[in-house]
Structure formats: C-alpha cells, structure tokens
Amino acid sequence: MVIVAILIPVAMTLVKNIRLNTQQAQLYVAGAQNAAKAGIEDTLGYFIRQKTVVRALNATYTYPSAAASPTPTVYATGFSYVDQPFNPQYNPTNFQYSDTFQETTQLAGGMTHPFYGLCNEYPVDSASNSIPAAGQNTAVYFGRYEVQEQTNPIVTPAPTLNPMAVHDITGTRDANYMNGDGLVWAITSTGYIYKRMDYTMDQYGEYMIPYNVYPNKVLATAKAYAEFKKLSLNLPDSGAGDAAVYVHSAAGVNLSNYCYLNGSASNAYGLCAMAGNTTQPTGANASNFVGGGITYTSLGDAPISDVSVFGMSLKDIQFVADYSGSAALPLSIVSSNKLSYFNGNLTYAATQTNAVYQQLNTSGILIVNGNLTLGLGGNNPSGTNVLPSYYSGVVFVTGNLTISDGCQVDGVVIMGLSNSYSGSGGNLTLLGSSGGNFAYLTADPAGVNHVIQQVAQYREDLSARKVLLAFPGI
C-alpha cells in the first residue's frame, strides 16, 4: 500500500508532463505550418511587386511558332536559365527595401549561408516584432521560413537541381507556352519553429550561430506548396484598347434600339470583328443609334479565346478569382477592382429575388462562362427602387451579352470562346428604350489599363496549395 501510495502521484505527474509535452508539440507543429504559409504569402507579394511578367525569355513563345524544344535558347538580357528571374534582394544599408532578411552569398562568422532566395524570421513569444540583439534574450522561440532560389544549372560542373527551389513551370502546365515564359511558378516554402539559445551577432547584424546548429534547436518543420499564375490581359488587337467590343462577327452585334456604342476618342470606332466578316452590325444605320462612328477592323484568323486573352483557361481562372459563383453558389462582388468569375447564365435586374443580383455596380474583370444580361432597373419584389447596372473594366462573355436600357459598361467587352462552353462566340445586344433610357457601351482605354495594373497580376492557384504535415523535433 505504501508503494502504491507513492506510485500514484508519480504516475499522475508523468501523465501531466506527457500531456503538457504533447500540447507543446502541437503548438510547435501549428507554428511551423503557419510559418510555411507565411512564406507562400510573402513570395506572392514579391511577384506582385515586380509589376510585370517575371520571365527569363525575351518574349512569350507559343507553339507551333516556337521551336518544339523543352529548353528555350533565347533569354532576356541578364538571364541564362529559366528560374533566374526569381532573385530576392538583400539591402544591408536600407533593410526596409529588402525582400529577404538574410544575404544568400554573405559570409558571416566564417560560415556561408545556404542559397536562400526569400527568408525571414520572427519571434513568436515576444511582445515586440523586433528580433532581439545580443544579450537581449527576451525572445526564445522563433518562426522562420525559407523559399529557396535555384542555383545556376549551366555552370561547370553543373550542380544538382534543387527540387525545393522556386521553378518556372509554365510549359509543364500549358503546352502552348514554354518554361521561361513566366506565367506559372511553383513555390515550395519550408517553415520552422526553433528555440534560439545563442544571440551572438556578427558585423552584419546576423546571428553567428545558425538556427539549426547547437545550442539552438529546431522544434518542428513543415512545408507548403503553391503555384502562382499570371493573369495576363491581352486584347485581341495587340493591346491598342481603342474598341468597345471584340467579336467573332460584326453581324453578332445587334444595335436593336436606343443604344450608344463608341470607341475611344483617339480612334472613334466601337467594334473590332474577325477577318472575313464584312457585314455591318445590325442596326448600325438606325436613327436610334448614337456613336462616334461605328466601324470595324480585322483581327486576323486567330480565335478570341480565354487562353489568348488571359493566358489560362476558364477552368484555371475559377481557382484564382477573387469572387466565384454558379447556379448553386451566388456571386457576391463586395469590392471594386477584383477578378470575378461566374459559371452559367448570369442576370442582373430589379426583378431578381436575390439582392446580390438586383444591380451590378462595381469595377474590375468580370468573366461569365455563359450568358450575361444587364437588365432593367425599377422596383424589386419588395417594392424598393433599384438603379440600372453599371460596370467599369473588362467583361469577358462566352455566351450572349445583353445590355438593357439605362445600363452602362465602360471599358471593353470581349465576346470570347472557351473549351468549357459549347458555343461558337456569342452575340452582343444593346437594347434601350425611348425617353432617353439608352443602353451604353463605351471604350475606356485608361480604365482598362488601370484594371490591368490592379487586377491582372500573379495569383495563387488555390487548387494547387498543399500544406504538408509538420513533425516536431525534425
């Protein structure tokens, strides 16, 4: 009985310690996963800050015009391999302008840092976000992430390619492009939670003892994978942006009643049609049509498709859109300058019972894989007056587009094709009414350029994200 009486509190203490250690390990695991995901977000910010396509090739090559070779041979100035454009910078004099907090080639305390591309650390148990200096042991536990940069594979002797480094996989994801075109990048981020026991710093202000060298100890490691896709926006007339609408046939534009269609002020034409179509738009000579000279021009024989305009298919766009909707999932656009995607037929009108579909009044890029109707304003089912719809930016529709009286689109309308829609290019109808309730479609090159800068940027493909299980003590 004496022995049992002694063992019971000992056992309870052991169980308590095991439970506390398990809880602590779970915290380490969660922290490492969060650090890995933070690396993904930080890397996305790096790509967006470049404000251009991050690519190694001089120009975007598409098959079959490019040589059918997996290895591109023509690089932009300063690049010799496809992954080289991912090159985060370290600024030792103005740290706030640095992409990464650790120089990749710098020698510190006689030790060479690994070839990190983008790396950052932060304390996880300190009241301040600042990393403590030597002797200020206010933080013990740190979060850290590493997004590695590829070494030059062309040097002699050639190094082994790093599978954990950032890679341009454009050609792997789309046979119409090549690795080096910069449209799709694969990102792997490694996150750590580690315990720092030595705070000695070198002349560069970095810790002399690396995070994974004794007496410091790594408590948990996790990895996160993501793919970034560049949403390009290539207008069918090579980006001139003078037209209000791009269609496959001029006959597909119906100026049926009381409508306004106008191109930009510099080139006052409202329509661009495909080659071989000489038919005037229906209603172009009607007395109830107002515009700055309705003309059309040839765009060549290439189709106006989702891939040619956005650099990716609608199947991929739905996974990078800010807002997505379908017949089963309402499309709620709650802020401007966003990428919105709807799969199916979409109607905005005062008679809609769902409030989000009673009026469209925002800006950005709106893609509808089906028919789009901007209907009449007036009273909704509850009796409240609803104003007509207005949209500024880019509208891409694979089916038919109808702009009714009082509704207005400023920017550009693209009547495109998609492999995921069974149509051959839809029709545009401007349908106004008497009494000044015209249907408006006006080209706005400045607005389109603003959308390209604000919306058409690198985005994470959420369908590709993976967060691998973290392991404590590894």
| Per-residue model confidence as pLDDT tens for the chain (474 residues) | 878 777 777 666 665 556 555 555 567 888 999 999 999 999 999 998 888 889 888 765 554 444 434 455 567 777 888 899 998 888 777 777 788 876 654 444 444 445 578 999 888 876 555 555 544 555 688 999 999 988 877 776 767 788 889 999 988 887 777 888 888 999 999 999 999 888 887 766 677 888 888 999 999 999 999 999 988 888 877 655 678 888 877 778 888 778 888 877 554 556 776 655 556 677 665 556 666 545 555 555 567 888 888 888 898 898 899 999 999 999 999 999 999 999 999 999 999 999 999 999 999 999 999 999 998 887 778 778 888 999 999 999 999 999 998 999 999 999 888 765 555 568 899 888 876 688 899 888 888 888 888 898 899 988 888 877 655 544
312 phi and psi, to 5 degrees?
A: -155, 160
Contact (Cβ atoms closer than 8 angstroms) between residue 88 and residue 149? yes
Which of the 8 DSSP states describes residue 72? -
What does DSSP say about strands 401-404 and 428-431: parallel, antiparallel, or unpaired?
A: parallel
pLDDT of residue 272: 72
- Residue identified by tokens 């956005």 is 310
Report d(CA 438, CA 432) in Å as an integer.
4
pLDDT of residue 297: 59
Going 7 to 11 to 14 to 16, the CA torsion angle's sign is: negative
- Collapsing DSSP to helix, strand or coil, 195 comes out as strand
Q: How far is CA 134 from CA 19, 191, 201, 203, in A?
A: 34, 24, 6, 12
Would the CA dihedral through 65, 69, 72, 73 be positive or negative? negative
Largest CA distance in the chain: 108
User: Phi-psi category of 205—alpha, beta or left, where left has phi over 0 and alpha has psi -120 to 50?
Assistant: left
Alpha carbon distance 411, 451 (integer Å):
9
pLDDT at 70: 47
What is the domain partition of the chain in residue ranges? 31-231+460-472, 245-456
Non-local (6+) Cβ contacts of 88 within 8 A are: 46, 99, 100, 117, 118, 149
Amino acid at 113: H
Q: How far apart are CA 360 and CA 358, in angstroms?
A: 7
Neighbours of 456 (CB within 10 A): 20
E strand or H helix at 115 = none
Predicted pLDDT of residue 238: 60
- What are the start-end ranges of the E strands in 241-349? 245-246, 253-257, 259-262, 271-272, 289-290, 323-326, 338-343, 346-348
CB 36, CB 225: distance < 8 Å: no
Tell me which residue of 202, 196, 42 sits closest to 119, measured CA to CA.
Answer: 42
Predicted local distance difference test score (pLDDT) of residue 147: 94
What is the reported pLDDT for 107?
Answer: 40
Helix (H, G, I), strand (E, B) or coil at 321: coil
- CA 385, 390, 396, 402 torsion: positive or negative? positive
Question: Residue for token digits 């309705």?
Answer: 294
Residue 443 region by backbone torsions, left for phi larger than 0, else alpha for psi between -120 and 50, else beta? beta
Q: Cα–Cα distance between 50 and 461 in angstroms, integer? A: 19
Query: Tokens 């109607």 identify what position?
Result: 347
